[in-house]
Structure 1
């Protein structure tokens, strides 16, 4: 059975939700219809642009730029402060509504999610008909609009939802990518940031189709694992699955917002090492091992990307988690400054549960090195007694490595 995946994205979520609340409270003006932003301090005009209206785009206003810059571009700009509590409430109500259709939902941010519609597609004349029911129901019940992308995998569904906005349903099945996706500028490919685009231009790759038809070896030579992944995306290849809330709830993870944006792989990986230790410690304390690791990046402009992989066998060892996170980071990071990093584990099993071997396994899996186990135990005992920062690996003591550096400053 061909999978049917929806990607649902709220149009200018923060601004739309603010507009709905304002209108409910008697406002005469709809922020969505005028140049408007959600930003920081309105009087001082400090902070950054978190969301913008469609009319604001005509002035060249960009998400993530300083509010002061936005007002220079459009002096009559309307601005409202962020209300994250209200956003969470709106998001929760949206997810509850979507669960009336299916519980196979993976929420990837406050304003977007994937739905695996495969099991219930038979209830509707077509996937597009089902998406229209959902889209129009959201507008009627909540007063804001969404875009819905439809495909057989998550990547193409997300690409489809980014086509013409707002309040639209688009399909992008594998047989449609040559016509609908390949002519697009390379910068519109998911996870192709400014750094990648500059590299592609040097290789005379200007469209997604150019990349799809390029030699994969050449791309890998210049951009390594991240380039290989982008080449696969350009060809519509993505085997990641929708991870429903039930599976997510069984996971253990941790994330941190950095004191300063990380701009090098070395800095980011030092933070990932710290996060891997934290997650590994929590797994061991819970008597669990993980079969899957995911890594999340939030960039300086608040855009989020995440990537996941299946482990060869269940593990709770720091170094196994760290190695997996680094591989995911290398495949995902586009060279842009990083604001937040996170590691999450899923598909947990009891630590004492026997490992299922395949017929291709030559050796029995070896237990962690005894010295390594004793070291972990000793470190955890010291941290339990004197605090989590009592023992820190030397690799984490370098300047600018996130929370560890902040802890040093407080001493």
Structure 2
């Protein structure tokens, strides 16, 4: 028997921010999977920015649909500087995907940011315009907050591989 009091907050800090998606069919083309990765990175980075966090580690998970012959991988990359910029996280996630994908059909994809830090302090760069990327992400976040998740989309999200429009009509992967 344990007579210690029950505490409300068992975890004082968040460890990671991520999202996984099971696609409605097997995706066999690299460009289709890249579209899904972009959609997931957009959501993960938006949630990180809403919480005022950046991540130093980008993780990618890919799983196939054939449970008799499991395929897929889970890999991560440590960044030199933490970020929550969508295009930067997506570029790294796509690189991980292409390095480790075996060409088998993919049914589930996940991306996460970990080793989180406060987004108020970040490294400036002379060679990459991080402020412009942050401004673009902020404008997209503001539009989505005001008018809904599909008020502004990337062009790839309206292709046959895009899942953002379908996902917007669901809660937790299920229809509202």
TM-score, length of structure 1 as denominator length: 0.35
Contact 1:298 1:340 in 2 (8 A): yes
The structure with more helix, counted as a fraction of residues: 1
Evaluate the alpha carbon distance shift between residue 271 and residue 354 of structure 1 in structure 2; reply closer, same or farther with a 3 A threshold: closer
Contact 2:61 2:73 in 1 (8 A): yes
Q: Deviations over 1:190-225 (max 9, x none)?
A: xxxxxxxxxxxxxxxxxxxxxxxxxxxxxxxxxxxx
Is 1:404 matched up with 2:164?
yes
Is 1:348 matched up with 2:116?
yes
Contact 1:259 1:406 in 2 (8 A): no
Contact 2:33 2:161 in 1 (8 A): no
- 2:66 match: secondary structure: coil
Question: What residue is the counterpart of 2:139 in the other structure?
Answer: 378
Q: Deviations over 1:171-196 (max 9, x none)?
A: xxxxxxxxxxxxxxxxxxxxxxxxxx
Contact 1:261 1:300 in 2 (8 A): yes
Is 1:305 matched up with 2:73?
yes
Question: What residue is the counterpart of 2:104 in the other structure?
Answer: 336
How many Å separate the matches in 2 of 1:405 and 1:384?
16
Q: CA deviation at 1:255?
A: 1.0
Evaluate the alpha carbon distance shift between residue 311 and residue 331 of structure 1 in structure 2; reply closer, same or farther with a 3 A threshold: same
Q: Deviations over 1:318-361 (max 9, x none)?
A: 01110110111011111111111000111111112354xxxxxx
Q: Deviations over 1:39-61 (max 9, x none)?
A: xxxxxxxxxxxxxxxxxxxxxxx
Relative contact order (alpha carbons < 8 A, sep ≥ 6): 1 or 2 greater? 2
Rg comparison, structure with higher value: 1
Q: Within 5 A, what are the aligned runs for 1:152-171?
A: none
TM-score, length of structure 2 as denominator length: 0.78
How many Å separate the matches in 1 of 2:48 and 2:169?
29
How many Å separate the matches in 2 of 1:322 and 1:266?
13
Contact 2:56 2:113 in 1 (8 A): yes
Q: CA deviation at 1:293?
A: 0.4
- 2:60 match: secondary structure: strand
Is 1:251 matched up with 2:16?
yes
Evaluate the alpha carbon distance shift between residue 373 and residue 285 of structure 1 in structure 2; reply closer, same or farther with a 3 A threshold: same
Aligned residues: 155
How many Å separate the matches in 1 of 2:113 and 2:134?
20
Give 5+ residue unaligned stretches, structure 1: 1-245, 356-363
Contact 2:59 2:113 in 1 (8 A): yes
- 2:166 match: secondary structure: helix
